[in-house]
Structure 1
Amino acid sequence: MKKLIFICFFLFSTLIYAEISTVTVWHSYRGTEQIALEELKNRFNESQDKYNAVLLSVPYDAFANKLTTAIPRGNGPDGFIFAHERIGDWAESGIISPVDNETVERTRNDIIPSTLNALKYNGKFWGYPLAFKSVVLYYRTDLIKKVPASTDEMIEMAKKFSDPEKGRYGLAFEAASVYFAAPFLYGFDGGFCFEEGKTKKSGEACLDNKGNRMALDYIGNMVNNLKIVPQEATSALVTQLFNEGHAAMVINGPWFLGEIKKGVPYNVAVLPTISETGDLLKPFLTVESFMITDHIDTNVEGAKAFGNYITSFDGAKLRAVKGRQSVATKSVYKDPEISKDNVLNVFRTQAEIAVPMSNNPKMRMVWEPMATALRKVLRGAQSSPDALEAAQNQFIIFSRPLPKAKSPVVYVMILLAAALAGLFFVVKQLRKHKLVESLFNNPTPYLYLFPAFLSMIVLVFIPFAVGTAVAFFAHKSGEYQFVGFSNFISILLSKDFPVTNPLSFYFTLGVTVLWTSVNVFFHVSIGLALALMLREPWLKMKGIYRMLLI
């Protein structure tokens, strides 16, 4: 009887366990955000008996690559938390699945509109908005008594405080970063033509526009002429200046809160209005969202349940209070505990003004050309019109469609023929010099050479072979396409960059040849001159000079 009861209990327990499915969620949170998410996961698991959520922390730098590698092969998580700007790529590649209309309509009224719009691509919504990030104005309350309402006021306050020779600046931000330049780009009605409501040219970016030129000149003036903003400021320098009282105001995001030293008197405010246009400085808005993956083993219902739970009022409040997140749920800001938090409310207000960063896949091709243009203007190397014209041309090159795919059959046949010819040559040389017999008769010298031979294969020949093979492929959105000699033809014919462009193959080749020639000339000339000098009988301590030169 006892045995029968035990068997029944075992079968019942197995049945219950089998009904609980696992929901794997990837994230890259740290600190308080991770603590809040862990607590939400525990509450979710305790609140129901269908799903068991499991969190896996993945380093931010490796996050996107791991997703694009794992999911197309049927692996990876059921859902993940990441910023929205890669949605276009992932939607087109089948990495993520859209959110159903019922969920969108049910939550729409309680979500900050700009955070929801950021998740829209090709008419569908691709995630559950969790939190948002944008830059605001930080100011030291011991140095700034009144929040500037306009850029004219901000500049006047900054000029009174600034003294570059003493390392003091009225305003500090990473001026050479496109992300931190964005408030000025949009404030002058510039942008990239990917934004919602902007006039687009067949989905292309328009970097060279009047607003962007005005913005770059404005930033350049603050850095180079007024000297109220440090040149080539880094994140570490901005933090140091603010903490030491050498920067009165700083433009930075919510991550800066954790970098401010304890005891530093500060407050935050919405970015001011641009005096020249009457429009507000509008920073980028990035939205962290929970997205559901699209592979054969995705636990869709479990992922939906977890997404709905962490975006609920209670879930959003916990993330705001314990995780110190600027959450996307509007009703949370009416809660007495949150409504008194000036920092969270300033970020919420700024979010309604900010411009959601475009999730168009081509937006990723904007960053480098635009950053190059910004650096040229700040260094005084080019005017803003010339720099932006070059940036626009560079974007056009980067965004060109891939070359036509070609059949690898002919190339494989050529490779096999070359391999057979090489093998024949090697065998012939082995027989000619009787190397095989020598190896068996006297293996000791070859054993000494083996480690070096193996190292050469692993460190030189294999990377060279892989690099050569990759040159015959074109890559886009995690997919490789065989294109034969198209890449080589494009380089040799200068299809992408003119010969005079520093990115041109021939320009690089010319610089390399010139550098090598000059280098060899001076090495030989100086070496010969010193050698002739050391031959002179009147020169003493020749041995010491020879030793130093060697």
Structure 2
Amino acid sequence: MNEKRRTLLKTVGGSTALAALAGCISTGGDGSDGSDGDDGSDGSDGDDGSDGSDGGSQGTATLWTDLSDGEDEAITSYVEEFESEMGHTINKEAPGGDLDQQLETAIPSGEGPDSWIWAHDWVGRFAVREEPPFLYDASDDVDVSLDEYSGAAQQAVQYDGALHGLPFASETVALYYNEDMVDGAPETLEEMVSVMDEFHNPSNGEYGLSYPVADPYFVSGFIQAYGGNIYDEENREVTLDSDACKQGMDALETVSDYVPADPGYESQIVAFADGAAPFAINGPWELANLSEEIDNLGVAPLPTIDGNDPRTYSGIQTFYFSAMLNDADQSTIDATTGLAEWYTTNEEIVETNAAEQGYIPVLSSVVEDGNLSAEVEAFAKQVDRGVPIPTHPDMNSVWTPLTDALERVFNDDQESGPALDQAASEIRENL
């Protein structure tokens, strides 16, 4: 999960635009782990019809990805394993450029993929497209019960009763700390500020914190720490200018004083990776990279703010089912859904991804087993304290005004309260 994937969340192309999610559905079958195919959950034997109406012919499907190097290497090996076990052919491609823009062009022209991997924040945005449609409802094709996944993951892949993908991991930001510089993770913001004071010396290239403070996804936990919501999905209201959110912005300004002058992602993460800051606030997609750079790396949930847990946004990584499947052969549908079922319900894959990629499992059997690293457990705790990225299409209008407001505040061009007022006004005008 690289910089591009995160920053896309706040651009028009990658902005969140999901709608209110329907209740969870179960598509039948027990498919608890998908690893052996005995119950047909991986579509390998077809005894229960899970391989489609054509008697189990082998299919060819296209999968688009936009992943970090480590993630890409891992998914490539798993795709090859799936092909070997199931006989299907998966053409995995990285289309280049912004994935969402590539989809916007390719699907209407009939040249899009059968599936792609991204966080859940596009389900509603694409589900409301009718001419042309962008997503496929696989409710009648998937042979694994959605009860195998966590509740939030079940909801994330559905829209208005339709099943548009299968989930495989959750993600949010938490606190990284360098154990060679600090004894442990601070439990409160006051403790964190005290430690940052000791290290912050910009004239010597030393800082208290690495944190992309102009990115709404990253700072959502602070803004929403006092109970406010950037967007109130339940009531379909813009609440960014609430008193609670303004309190959160005040807390954010407290820590933003300790970051490098360039708020960009790369400038921030390099400071921590190089040992120039004791703390970083970032996501699990950096775990493997940072572990190579820092010998004694720790991860913890974000410290409390006036006794409140920061309510960070979380995303659910998903295999999307493309509208290309509406006109595809059954064998292609089987290959597409079969890969998603096999990958998302295979306990060995889920556990390996957690250990090597920092993926936070959403497969209930793995979560309940509790055999996760301390780092992944810390991210999982932060996910529990946060909130899923809102799923209503109105979120499409939220990211850019909020990003602009954060940049004005960070650059001392505007006070935080008026900046949120302006952002909220712009959002309402765009709805």
| 2:196 and 2:209 in contact (8 A); partners too | yes
Pair 71,386 (structure 1): closer, same or farther in 2 beyond 3 Å: same
Q: Distance in 1 between matches of 2:241 and 2:334?
A: 46
Aligned to 1:368: 400
Using CA pairs below 8 Å that are at least 6 residues apart, which structure has the higher relative contact order?
Answer: 2
The amino acid across from 1:330 in the alignment is S
Q: Pick from 56, 61, 81: which aligns with 2:117? A: 81
Q: CA deviation at 1:259?
A: 4.2
Shift of residue 354, structure 1, vs aligned partner: 2.4
CA distance in 2, matches of 1:321, 1:232: 32
- Any conservation in 2 of the 1:243–1:264 contact (CA below 8 Å)? no
| Whole-Å separation in 2 of the counterparts to 1:302 and 1:379 | 50
Please report how far the alpha carbon of residue 301 of structure 1 lies from its aligned counterpart in structure 2 after TM superposition.
3.0
* Matching of residue 222 in structure 1 with residue 255 in structure 2: yes
How far did 1:323 drift? 4.8
**Which amino acid in 2 is paired with 1:327?**
P
Give the corresponding residue for 1:167.
Answer: 205
**C-alpha distance in 2 between matches for 1:382 and 1:104:** 53
Query: Given the alignment, which residue of 300, 318, 321 partners 1:289?
Result: 318
| Alignment check: 8 A CA contact 1:86 1:361 kept | no
Q: Larger deviation: 310-319 or 135-144?
A: 310-319
- Gap change, CA 1:24 and 1:105, over 3 Å in 2: closer
Match of 1:431 in 2: none
Matched letter for residue 64 of structure 1: D
How many residue pairs are counted as aligned between the two chains?
369
Q: CA deviation at 1:173?
A: 0.8
- How far has the Cα of 1:274 moved from its partner? 1.2
1:328 and 2:362 matched: yes
What amino acid maps onto 1:387 in structure 2?
A
The CA distance in 2 between the partners of 1:179 and 1:107, in whole Å, is 27
User: Which deviations, in whole Å up to 9, do the C-alpha atoms of 1:140-160 show, x marking residues without a partner?
Assistant: 112211321111221222223
- AA matched with 1:289: T
Paired with 2:358 and 2:405, the residues of 1 have a C-alpha distance of: 36
Identity %: 25
| Contact 1:83-1:289 at 8 Å conserved across structures | yes
Instruction: Decide whether aligned partners of structure 1 residues 18 and 367 sit closer, same or farther in structure 2, where only a CA change above 3 A counts.
Output: closer
Per the alignment, do residues 222 and 91 of structure 1 end up closer, same or farther by CA in structure 2, a change over 3 Å counting? same
**Quick one: distance in 1 between partners of 2:115 and 2:270?**
38
Indicate how the Cα distance of structure 1 residues 360 and 284 shifts in structure 2: closer, same or farther if over 3 A, else same: same
Alpha carbons 2:58, 2:335 under 8 Å: kept:
no
TM-score by length of 1: 0.61
SS in 1 for 2:327: coil
Aligned residue in 2 for 1:12: none
* Aligned positions of 1:457-472 closer than 5 A: none
Aligned-residue offset at 1:208: 1.3
Q: Which residue in the other structure is 1:440 paired with?
A: none
Distance in 2, Cα, partners of 1:182 & 1:18 = 47
Aligned partner (choices 378, 381, 384) of residue 410 of structure 2: 378
- Residues 62, 242 of structure 1: alpha-carbon distance in 2 compared, 3 angstrom cutoff: closer
Q: Distance in 2 between matches of 1:204 and 1:64?
A: 26
The question of 1:389 aligning with 2:389 is answered: no
- Give the structure 1 partner of residue 101 of structure 2: 65
379-388 vs 364-373, greater mean Cα deviation: 379-388
Given that 2:63 and 2:92 are in contact with CA atoms closer than 8 Å, whether structure 1 keeps it comes out as: yes
Listed as ranges, the gaps of 5+ residues in structure 2 are 1-53
Which structure has the larger Rg? 1
State the superposition RMSD in angstroms: 2.8
Cα offset for 1:117? 3.0
In the TM superposition, what is the alpha-carbon distance from 1:92 to its structure 2 partner?
Answer: 0.9
Partners of 2:284 and 2:73 in 1: how far apart?
A: 17
The gaps in structure 1 that reach 5 residues or longer are: 1-15, 400-550
- The within-5 A match list for 1:319-358 is 319-321=353-355, 323-333=357-367, 339=371, 341-358=373-390
Match for residue 22 of structure 1 among 51, 60, 63: 60
Runs (4+) off by over 6 Å: none
Task: Show the counterpart of 1:157.
Answer: 195
Query: How far does the alpha carbon of each residue in 1:427-476 deviate from its partner, in whole angstroms, 9 at most, with x for none?
Result: xxxxxxxxxxxxxxxxxxxxxxxxxxxxxxxxxxxxxxxxxxxxxxxxxx
Deviation at 1:180, TM superposition (A): 1.8
How far apart in 2 are the matches of 1:104 and 1:382? Answer: 53
Which residue does the alignment assign to 1:190?
228
The 1:340/1:19 distance shift into structure 2, 3 A limit, reads closer
Aligned pairs for 1:137-536 within 5 A: 137-195=175-233, 198=234, 200=235, 203-223=236-256, 227-260=257-290, 262-275=293-306, 278-295=307-324, 296-298=326-328, 299-312=332-345, 313-321=347-355, 323-333=357-367, 339=371, 341-399=373-431
Query: Counterparts of 2:56 and 2:186 in 1: how far apart (Å)?
Result: 61
SS at match of 2:272: helix
- 1:327-366 deviations in whole A, cap 9, x for unaligned? 322323566xx82522222222222222211232221211
What letter matches 1:83 in structure 2? A
* TM-score (ref. length: structure 2): 0.77
Conservation of the 8 A alpha-carbon contact between 1:175 and 1:232: no
Give the letter aligned to residue 405 of structure 2. Answer: A
Matched, 1:115 2:160: no
1:322 Cα shift?
5.3
